[in-house]
Structure 1
Amino acid sequence: MLLILLKYLQYFFKNLNFFLINFKIRCIMTFLTSFIITFFLSPYFINYFNKNKISQIIRKDGPITHYSKNKTPTMGGLILLLSILFSVIFWSDLSNKYIFFSLSIMILYSLIGFIDDYYKIILNNPKGLSPYKKLFSQSIITIIILIFIYINNPEKLYLQFFIPFLNKIIKYDLNLILYLIISYFIIIGISNSVNLTDGLDGLLIMPIIFISLGLSILCYFSGDIFFSKYFNFIYIKNAKELIIICLSVVGSGLGFLWYNTYPAKIFMGDIGSLSLGCVISIIAILIRQDFLFLIMCGLFILESISVIIQVLKFKYNKKRFFLMAPLHHHYELKGVSEPCIVIRFWIISLILVLFSLIVII
């Protein structure tokens, strides 16, 4: 938005125009804007949610230690959403179609999360939006956005596979059907895996920050002609602007972590976890880094696998493989303290992000 305004004001403010159009400055300002908004608005949201009893619904079959959290405000993802939207709209180049695609799917997924939270908290329905309705809504949104991306992409779409430490990349040409199938499962799978991971104080937001930083590096490499050739990436003209979204997620995430760390004063709810999960997924798809992205999201995938194993094992012989799923609850019931689990999961996430970046060297 700012760039559009400056086009009309550049005659009067030439020096200011040059200063603000500079990409590095816009990146820094995006990070600071999103952090400041989240950091200073969160206390007001926390007070409002407390007064209106918009608090976390604790599952009855969950860990006993979580019962004390039933009065903790939730739907804090609304703060994250507003912060990201404002900073991106203000500092990004809105003529960039990749910005439009990313914000569109994030807003639409946040609506699904909002409805789910509304059912749980306002209507006092612990189950929330039914899994079938949620999956159907996500599927429709995802397929429509992916078709628009495919139609509006002048270049061929490739899938890139990196062979670790051998500096070799396999590029596979994708047709519409294959592109839709792969991208669909990445967005649906990761967004719901992110939602499952959001079960302990501060557990989710830090891995999201790590992955967003990793994606911002990949966006820079993909959007720069020199680095894309050096790392044998597919050069994507519009990719660099996506760093604005990545840094807005990092800034708002750090501001939110201040209040979400143990003991949490606010939770993000589905409105936050679903929207964050889908926006990092769509960015990875837009820059054709599906393979590296899945490595980065290894922690989320592990959490989902633990739930799948638990369900299948129980259906097979009515016995549980884990004490409780997802995996972080298993360690809780084994007696590991919540902060200890959270920090160890952060370490795992950081290692996975660093490994995915080392692979391309």
Structure 2
Amino acid sequence: SFTLLGAWDDWVKQRTDRNGITARQKMLVQCLLASTAGVLLYFLEPDPEVSQVLFWPVGGGTLTLGWLVIPLAVVVIVATCNSVNLTDGLDGLAAGCTVSCGAAFVALCYLSGHRVLADYLSIPYLSGSGELAVILGGLVGAMLGFLWFNA
């Protein structure tokens, strides 16, 4: 859906206004899309412990968010989307940030998908998250290839 927003902005730039849609319009659509994702996360996830509980890695504590997961999802999604827009450029800065964050997520997904390691590190065990580590590894590899040929 954010891809469609970018395509709409590019279409407006090509067809009518050279500046594209306004920043206010982009932010409004981003907030609406993120709100939709937050509401779907809140209402459609059958296990509230998966979608509404934050786990503290140190000490093993938890924080139940309840309906506050919706505004948190809006803030996280919109901030993430715009942080990539701010760091992106022809110099590959966004790709470099993606490599370091992606590598960290590869490690976290692998560890949380391994029952013994997850118990040892006191992080929640998530069945199937090891497969996500493979996909993220592909993302990291693609970004490293981009940076290699972009230099």
Q: In which range does the TM-score fall when normalised by the shorter chain?
A: 0.7 to 0.9
Distance in 2, Cα, partners of 1:205 & 1:245 = 16
Which of 121, 133, 144 is equivalent to 2:25? 133
1:158 is aligned to: 53
Distance in 2, Cα, partners of 1:222 & 1:147 = 26
Q: CA deviation at 1:189?
A: 0.6
Which runs of structure 2 are paired with 1:196-345 in the superposition (5 Å)? Answer: 196-261=86-151
With over 3 angstroms needed to count, the CA separation of the structure-2 counterparts of 1:119 and 1:256, relative to structure 1, is: farther
1:114 is aligned to: 7
Q: CA deviation at 1:155?
A: 4.6
1:144 is aligned to: 36
Distance in 2, Cα, partners of 1:155 & 1:258 = 43
- Unaligned residue ranges in structure 2 (runs of 5+): none
Distance in 2, Cα, partners of 1:127 & 1:241 = 41
* TM-score normalised according to structure 1 size: 0.37
Residues 276-333 of structure 1, C-alpha deviations (whole Å, 9 max, x = no match): xxxxxxxxxxxxxxxxxxxxxxxxxxxxxxxxxxxxxxxxxxxxxxxxxxxxxxxxxx
Which runs of structure 2 are paired with 1:20-99 in the superposition (5 Å)? Answer: none
User: 4+ residue stretches of structure 1 with deviation over 6 A?
Assistant: none
Q: CA deviation at 1:225?
A: 1.5
- Root-mean-square deviation (Å): 2.2
1:171 aligns with 2:62: yes
Q: Is the partner of 1:129 in helix, strand or coil?
A: coil
Q: Which amino acid aligns with 2:11?
A: Y
Q: Percent identity?
A: 29
2:71 is aligned to: 181
Residues 62-119 of structure 1, C-alpha deviations (whole Å, 9 max, x = no match): xxxxxxxxxxxxxxxxxxxxxxxxxxxxxxxxxxxxxxxxxxxxxx212212222333
* TM-score normalised according to structure 2 size: 0.82
Q: CA deviation at 1:252?
A: 2.3
Q: CA deviation at 1:194?
A: 1.2
Q: CA deviation at 1:259?
A: 4.1
- Unaligned residue ranges in structure 1 (runs of 5+): 1-107, 262-361
Which is higher, the Rg of structure 1 or of structure 2? 1
Distance in 1, Cα, partners of 2:109 & 2:60 = 17
Number of residue pairs matched by the alignment: 148
With over 3 angstroms needed to count, the CA separation of the structure-2 counterparts of 1:260 and 1:125, relative to structure 1, is: farther
Q: Is the partner of 1:168 in helix, strand or coil?
A: coil
Distance in 1, Cα, partners of 2:4 & 2:101 = 23
- Do the aligned residues in 1 keep the contact of 2:37 with 2:73 (CA within 8 Å)? no
Q: CA deviation at 1:200?
A: 4.9
Distance in 2, Cα, partners of 1:210 & 1:147 = 30
